[in-house]
Amino acid sequence: MGKRAIVVYWLMLLLPAAALAVWALFMLRHEEERAAGQVVAAARLRADAGADALRWQVAIAQSELSGLMNSAPAGGEAAYLLELRKRHALVRNVFIWDEESGLLYPRPGECSGEESRFIARYDALFSGRDSWDAGEKGAKADTVGRNAGGWLSWFEENRLYMLGWKRSGGTVFGIELDWPVLLSRLVAAFPQPGEGWTWELVDGAGFPMHRAGGDGEEANAPAADIVVTLDPEMPHWRLVAGAGPGAFASRSGGVMVVGGLMVAILGVSIVLGGGLLAWQAWLQRRDAMRKTSFVSNVSHELKTPLTAIRMYSELLSEGRVKEEEKRRRYLDVISQESMRLTRLVNNVLDFSRLEQGRKTYSPENIDVCEAAGRLMREHEWRLRDAGMEPRWDVSGAAMRVRFDRDALEQILLNLLDNAVKYAAAGGEFVLSVTREGDSVFLRAMDRGPGVSRQHRGRLFEKFFRGDASLSAPNAGCGLGLSIARQLARDLGGDVKYEPREGGGSCFALVMPVATGEEGKVTGGPAA
C-alpha cells in the first residue's frame, strides 16, 4: 500500500471523526444549555411549591384564630379575648372598639407599654380615619356589612403586622397575630432548595428573614434568579432563589463522552454515535427526574412528622401548655409521628440496601398467623383512628412458612400503611390467611376505591404514584409496594394485586410453606 493510499484512508477516517467531533461539541453545548434550563425550570417549580407551603402556613394560622374569634360569646368578648391571649401563643394583642364610644379595650392611659404601642400602630383604624371594610390596607374580609370580619395586613415602619377582626353590630373586636411565633412556624415549614441553590425569605423592606441552602456565607445574599411573591397572605414579602456554582455542576460530564467517541471512532460510530448520545441523554433525564421526584417526596414526607414533632415539643418544653389532657394529647401526637417517621426511614433504608444488593435475610420457620395477628393487635388503633374496622379471618389451620421475620413485618406494615392512606373511606380492613397447595396466602383486603386498570401494570414500579404532586391528598414516595414485592421475591414468595369482589383492593402475600411443620391459629382483632 502506497503513501497516497495511506493518506487517503487516514483522511477518510480523520475527516468524519473531525466532523463528528464538531457536531458532538455543538450538540453538547446545546444539551448543557437545555439541561441548565431544565434545572432552572425545576427550581422554579420547587420555589412555587415552597411559596405555596408558606402561604398555607399563614392561612392555617389565620383560619385557626378566626375560628376562635367566631366562638366568642356575645357580651363576653372582653373576658374571652383576654383568656385567649393568655393561652394561645399566636395572639399578641386583643382589642374591642365601638363606633360610638371608640376604643373600649385597651383603654388609652390605662394600659401597658406594649398595648400603648398597639394603639398607636392602628390609630388610623381606631380613630375612624380608615375603614374596616374589605379593600382598605390590604384587608381580606369574610363577609360584608354589619357582621363582617377578616384580616388586615398592616404596615408600620416597613414592618408587617396582621390584625384579625370581627364586627358584631356596632362593635368590632379582634386580635393581633404574634408575628415572631408565626415566623417560627414558617421557618419550620421552609422547604429545602435543590443542590447548589440558595433560598431566602425576604420581607417587604428587603431584609432576609431566613435562608436555606448555599455555602454557609450568610453575608452574601443570593442572586435573584427566581423571585416568587407571597401575596396576598404576606404582602410585599417574597421567596428569592439564587443558583450557585454547584447548581449545574452535575451536567459537565458530557465532555468525557465526546472524548471517548473521538478516541474510539470507527466507521460504524458515525451511525451509532447519535443514537448513543440520545440514549445517554434520555437516561440522564430519567435519572434526574426520578432523583428530583424522590428527594422532593421524601423531603415532604419527612418534613410533615418533623414539623409536628418540633412544634408540639417546643410548646411542651416552653411550658405553654398547662392542661394535663392537652399535654397528653400532644405527647400522643409526638409518639405517632415518631412511629410514622421510623416507618418511612425503614422503607428508605430497605430501598437503598435492595438497590445495592446488600440486603441480608435470616429465614426461619414462622407461624404466620401469630406474627400477623400480633402486628394487627399492635396497629389496631391506627386502623380505628383512620375510620377502618380491622377484622382477622383465618380459614382452617395456619401453616408455618419459611420466611424472614423482619421482612414479613415490613411487608405487612407497608400493606397496612397503603390501606390507611388510600382506602380509609371504605371503613374496613381484613387480614386473612389460607393455604393453597405448597404456598400460604396472606391477603390484606379493603373496601377503598381500588386501583384503576391503567395503573395496575405499574403498581409495583419504583417511585410510581397515581398522583405524584406534593399537594396530593395522600403523601408518599412510591416505594412501599415495590419494596414489599422485592422482599417477598428474594425469599421465594411474591406480592400480587387483585380487585376485591364487591369493590376495593386485595394484596396477596405469597409465602412458601415450611416443610413438615404446621402452626396453630392465633387470633387477631375481633371481627
Residue 495 shares a structural domain with residue 370: yes
**Among the three residues 177, 198, 216, which one is the final residue of a domain in this structure?**
177
Which residue, among 411, 457, 460, has the nearest Cα to 431 in the 3D structure? 411
Per the structure, the count of domains in the chain is 3
**Within a domain: residue 170?**
yes
C-alpha cell at 334: 409526638
Element (H, E) at 400: strand 399-404
**Among the three residues 110, 143, 177, which one is the final residue of a domain in this structure?**
177
Residue 354 shares a structural domain with residue 378: no
**Within a domain: residue 413?**
yes
Residue 406 shares a structural domain with residue 380: yes
- Is residue 154 within 8 A of residue 122, CB to CB? The reply is yes
CA 19 to chain centre: 48
C-alpha cell at 236: 410585599
C-alpha cell at 248: 449545574
Residue 366 shares a structural domain with residue 465: yes
One-letter amino acid at 35 equals A
- Domain containing residue 332: 289-359
Q: How far apart are the first and last CA of the chain?
A: 91
CA dihedral 42, 45, 47, 52 (to 10 degrees): -160
- Is residue 521 within 8 A of residue 435, CB to CB? The reply is no
Element (H, E) at 510: strand 505-518
Residue 501 shares a structural domain with residue 437: yes
| Stretches in the chain below the pLDDT threshold 70 | 1-14, 17-18, 20-21, 24-32, 35, 133-147, 214-223, 245-305, 307-308, 312, 336-337, 339-341, 343-344, 346-358, 394-398, 463-478, 516-527
Q: What is the CATH number of the domain that holds 343?
A: 1.10.287.130
Q: pTM to 2 decimals?
A: 0.43
Residue 364 shares a structural domain with residue 354: no
**Within a domain: residue 396?**
yes
Cα–Cα distance for residue pair 70/81, rounded to 1 Å: 11
CA angle 26, 30, 31 (to 5 degrees): 115
CB neighbour list of residue 395: distance below 8 Å, 6 or more residues apart: 432, 433, 434
Q: Could you identify the residue written with the cell 391459629?
A: 521
Element (H, E) at 456: helix 453-456
Query: What is the DSSP pairing of strand 494-499 with strand 439-446?
Result: unpaired
Q: What is the CATH number of the domain that holds 403?
A: 3.30.565.10
Residue 355 shares a structural domain with residue 401: no
pLDDT at 494: 92
**Among the three residues 157, 177, 197, which one is the final residue of a domain in this structure?**
177
One-letter amino acid at 284 equals Q
- Is residue 494 within 8 A of residue 480, CB to CB? The reply is no
Cα–Cα distance for residue pair 412/420, rounded to 1 Å: 12
C-alpha cell at 301: 414526607
Cα–Cα distance for residue pair 148/293, rounded to 1 Å: 43
Residue 397 shares a structural domain with residue 506: yes
**Within a domain: residue 267?**
no
**Within a domain: residue 193?**
no
- Is residue 38 within 8 A of residue 67, CB to CB? The reply is no
